[in-house]
Amino acid sequence: MKTKIFLSSIAILGVFVLASSCSDSFTGAVETAGTEVLSADLKSGTVPVTAATVPAACILTGTIPDVTVFPCVVTGTVNAVETAGLLFMREEEKMARDVYTYFYAKYKLPVFLNVSKSENAHTSAVLRLIAGFNVTDNSSSDPGVYVNTRLTDLYKQLIAMGDVSVIDALKASVLIEQTDISDLQKELLSVENISVKTVYTNIMAGSNAHLKAFIWNLKIKGVVYP
């Protein structure tokens, strides 16, 4: 679903990369596809990584949000549709980070902190592509402020939803990840550039890990959702 469907979902209820041939390996918020998720990792929102799952040529060690841009090749060109998709995904990942940062400040639940760090890696990975393709990034660095005004409205609605309780914040987080996954799936249907496709695929793997973490945190609180 795009943002409109996401907004409808909220109304009914009352959004480690990874780069094109680029992967960030960092402490505290590592995620990859194909690794077994342990209960402790679900609680904190982290997923273990093994050497076999990370391209050796582009590993960066460090911590998020202090991710250093490192030399990985961005290949080919992007068309108008792919360019628009990159700018949207840059802001959608930033919105997720902004929401989780807010929720962690309010509730101090580790999963919000760890996933916010991961989302920062996601938006940074998309930014690397934007810069690599010489696309102008006009996004704002301010929390809750986006060029896409629907995302600005969505941020406000998510914050209002999560302000009610930590349970509602976790439910809002489930909706964020479900929408992000759906948006990425739709973007991948039209993406031709292999660098963009690689980044989106890796981000989606991370989003699936986040989704499991939030659902698990709800479960241990006695809530089966969705």
Expressed in percent and rounded to 5, the helix, strand and coil fractions of the chain are 60, 5, 35
Q: What Å distances lie between residue 204 and 12, 75, 182, CA to CA?
A: 25, 20, 9
CA–CA dist 155, 149 (Å, integer): 10
Cα separation, 161 vs 13, whole angstroms: 9
Evaluated on CA atoms 179, 218, 125, 36, the torsion sign reads: negative
Instruction: Tell me the C-alpha distance between 128 and 5, whole Å.
Output: 28
Q: What CA–CA distance (Å, rounded) separates 218 from 158?
A: 17
What structural domains does the chain harbor?
3-61+79-219 (1.20.1260.10)
Per-residue pLDDT, 72: 53
- Other C-beta atoms closer than 10 Å to the C-beta of 96 total 27
Residue range 105-137, pLDDT digits in tens: 999 999 999 999 999 989 988 998 999 999 999
Which pLDDT belongs to residue 218? Answer: 96
pLDDT the model gives residue 191: 96
Say what the pLDDT of residue 102 is. 98
What φ, ψ does residue 19 adopt, rounded to 5°?
-160, 170
E strand residue ranges, the chain: 18-19, 22-24, 59-60
d(CA 170, CA 34) in angstroms, rounded, equals 24
pLDDT at 45: 64
> Per-block average pLDDT, block size 10, for the chain (226 residues)?
44 34 34 35 53 33 33 81 97 97 97 92 90 93 94 96 98 96 96 92 91 95 92
Q: Which one-letter DSSP state was computed for residue 133?
A: T
Contact 118, 45 (CB under 8 A): yes
Residue 81 phi, psi dihedral angles, 5° rounding: -65, -45
Residue 226, pLDDT score: 81
Q: Which residues lie closer than 8 Å to 8 by C-beta, 6 or more apart?
A: 1
| Per-residue pLDDT at 10 | 36
CB atoms within 10 A of CB 203: 29
What's the pLDDT at 216? 95
